[in-house]
Amino acid sequence: MTNRMLHKLTLLTFLLLFTSVSAQQAYYDDVNLNLTGEDLYLELQQKISVSNANFTYGDIRDTVKITDEDPSNFNNLLLAYGYNDGDGNCTTDRSRDKDDFGGLVCEYNREHVFARGNANPPMGNADNSTIGIAADPHNVRPADQQMNNNKGNKKLASGSGNAGNVGSGNWYPGDEWKGDVARMMMYMFTRYGDRCLPSLNGTGPLQGSTDMLQLFLQWNVDDPVSDFEDQRNPHLEGVYGNRNPFIDNPYLATIIWGGPAAEDRWNFFSIEDNNNNLAVKFEPNPARDYIYLRTGMTIDYYEIYGNFGNVIYRDTFEEPLQKIDVSGLSSGLYFFKFTSGNKSSVQKIIIQ
């Protein structure tokens, strides 16, 4: 076997290993995680589009007692948009007794984070027997009844600090909740498509082939998944039948829509084969037209590989900063291998 054949076989073995171990939850074992952009969006849409005619809006009353349980007080649950338990104003409460459900002052009710009236067509009113989109528990959080009324159908907008009104008729969910909200918006748009366009629930520019608000992509980065948010998917997978992929791995949003790189909880870009640690950095990632490579050492050459170990491009690395045109590559996952003497380093890059 020639050195080139051995080299190609070694890389192919690594690629197969990568595709088999990247997903941390068994739920995603049948999802092609090598896809990017709209292709991955559609793949996840098919995965999470379960039909559950048995789960009702009334069931959410019991569900939130598990999914939204206060980690610091098992008798309580956390209230969306809440931020202060000690100011004497129950509207701003962050934590409340699980049994204080209702529509009176200092009670909590069920908040549709993607507002029912903002769907197209609107979701309509929900009662305890309602099924379908208005009963999707991934979109419902407990909230103080007055705080819920204050938010209403307002569009989500940029802000800082605690939850409340911003600008003219807009709503900021609060620093603690904006990442949760963004990942719920991404779930709703992925599951229900044009019926839950993120542009209906926000302001600012859109990004990606299926158009996600840049505001939500930024919130997804600024407010990472917490242990509290992680409570949701395991229970909802059992009682409802699907998960919110953007909680399991916020980086899926980056792969689909681009923008700032979110937390990669599945280590898409952690390559154990990369054991020589050549000092090579490249950005942006994901990329669209160009990538910029930087290194403080001599690199003899670099190679670009496709998913099946095929060499797509090979060139020398002559400058500490090198601009590479990748506009001719189709969207997808690629592998860059850098070689210096008898050392090498492999890194992944997504082309959108």
Close Cβ partners of 156 (under 8 Å, ≥ 6 residues apart): 170, 171, 172, 173, 181, 185, 201, 202, 203, 215
Confidence of residue 22 (pLDDT cuts 50, 70, 90): very low
Question: What does the alpha-carbon distance between residue 106 and residue 148 come to, in Å, rounded to a whole number?
Answer: 12
Query: In which residue ranges of the chain is CATH 2.60.40.3080 found?
Result: 3-17+267-351
pTM for the full predicted model: 0.82
Question: Per-residue pLDDT tens for 160-172?
Answer: 999 999 988 899 9
**What was the pLDDT predicted at 120?**
95
Q: Which distant-in-sequence residues (6+ apart) come within 8 Å of 222 by Cβ?
A: 178, 179
DSSP-derived 3-state class of residue 45: helix
Tell me the pairing of strands 164-166 and 170-172: antiparallel
SS3 of 77-139: the string is: EECCCCCCCCCCCHHHCCEEECCCECCCCCCEEEEECCCHHHCCCCCCCCCCCCCCHHHCHHH
| Separation of alpha carbons 178 and 262, rounded Å | 14
Rounded to whole angstroms, the Cα distance separating 254 from 294 reads: 22
Per mean pLDDT, which range of 60-74, 214-228, 280-294 is the poorest? 280-294
**Of residues 320 and 331, which shows the higher confidence score?**
331
State which fold the 3-17+267-351 domain adopts. Immunoglobulin-like (2.60.40)
Instruction: Say yes or no to pLDDT of 101 above 60.
Output: yes
